[in-house]
Each structure stands twice: as C-alpha cells, then as structure tokens.
Structure 1
Amino acid sequence: MDASKINWMLAIACLLAGIGLGALGYHLLNASAASLQKLRQRLAERDRELTALREGMDDHLGDVSRLVATLQRDSEALASRLSQDAQRLRAQGTPPAALAVIESEAPAEGNGDELAMPRDYADGTGGTLSEDFGLKDDEDAKAPQPPRY
C-alpha cells in the first residue's frame, strides 16, 4: 500500500470518529437541555400554585378580620344594651339580686382586674396534680425488712 492511501484512510477514520463523537456530545447535551426544560416547567407550575395559595390566604384572612370586627361591634352593642337595661331596672326599683345577675353578664370595661394565670402545678390539696397523687402509703414498705444473705 501506498503512503498516500494510508493518509487518506487515516483521514477518513478520523472524520468518522469526529462525527461519532459530535453526535454523542449533541445527544448528551440535548438530553440535559430537555430535563432542564422539564424542571423549569415544574418550577413554573409550583410558582403558580404558590401564588394561588397566597391569594386564597389573603382572602381568608380578610374575611376573618371582617368577622372579628363584626363580633367586636356586636359584643360592644350587647354590653351597652345590658348596662342600659340594668340602669332602667335600677330606676324602676328592681331587687338588687336581679341586678347583680344582669351586671355579672355584662363584660367589665376598664376595671383593671387582671385574670389569674392558670397554674400547671398542684396547690397541695391532694388533687390529681398533687405531687403525691397515686402513691400509696403501704404499711409493708415501712416495716423493717429481714437482712439478705
């Protein structure tokens, strides 16, 4: 064989190898681009879902705040109505026991009394929260035990 034919054969083999490597590289790069596109699409869907949830939460919180405001107005109206009824009954000469019931139902406004905080410990009266609840005073436990050998 001639040296020029070997050069041509080598050139054709290198060309085929280059085409093969190029096709493989394109395939690998295209596969990662497709997965990247799917990932971007999933991210956009999650972003839309998050936006919808935020809008729903805003609407819900707005409804709750309106309901709380309505409840406060109604409770203030009820308190003023009860105090007016108590004053009217006091003017008519109603017995003090009936007035005490009416005034106890009306919420106290600005009286400065603070409610006692609930306690998470026993007050020592022997209830279920006492420290010795469920412990038995056995006579056997106090009796001396024989020595063990």
Structure 2
Amino acid sequence: MELSNINWMLGAACLLAGIGLGVLGYHLMNAGARNAQMLRQRLAERDRQLAELRDGVGEHFERLGSLAAALNKEVGEATSRLAVEAPHRPDLAAATATMPEPEEAATTSDDVAAPRDYADGNRGTLSEDFGLKQADGDAPQPPRY
C-alpha cells in the first residue's frame, strides 16, 4: 500500500471516531436537558391541576355561601311565619287554682331537705374519707405487695 492511501484511511477512521464521540457526548449532555424538560412538563401539569382545584374550591365556597343565604332566608321566613301563626297558650294559673291539692304531698314536702352540693363539717366533698364511717380503733389496711 502506498503512504497516501494510509493517510486517507487514517483520516477517515479519525473522522468516524470523532463523529462517534460527538454523538455520544450529545446523547450524554442531552439526557440532562431531557430530564429538565420532563420536570418542566410535570410542573406545568401540577400547576394546571392546582388551578383546577382552586377553581373547584372557589365554586364550592360560592355554592356553600348561596346555600347558607338560602337557609338564612328560610329560617327568617319560618320565624316570622311562626310568630304570626303561633297558637296562644291557655292560662295555666287559672287551671291550677281550680285543682285541689292533695294533703299528702303538702305534708311530705316540708320534711324533705333541699339537696346540697357540700358536705357537713369542715372536711368537704374532696376529702379522701368523705362518706366513710369512722371505725373504732385502727381501720384495716390493704395488703402490700
């Protein structure tokens, strides 16, 4: 082979090797850009979902406000309607004056003491021995383990 053919072959091989290295470098560098593009796309999708949720919540609160206003209006109408149409109560004082009072209830109501929310003496209801009867001598102690 001639020397000029080897130079051409070496040049073609170096050109192919350079193209291969360039493609490999572009692929490796483009992987980061592809990931960044995927992240931007996911971020845009999440922003769209968030905007839809905000619109949904806004519509929900608008509907809730209109329902509350309608309920308030119905309650106002019902109270005004009940105030006009409310039946009159009979006079209970006149009805009780005509009823005879049993004598048994009158005698027992004087003997019963009104309930109290405190204990007799100075110990009080928060005392540990409230309501317990005092035993003569030493009180039995629970066994110790």
* TM superposition score normalised by structure 1: 0.47
Q: Which has the higher contact order (CA 8 A, sep 6+)?
A: 1
Larger Rg: 2
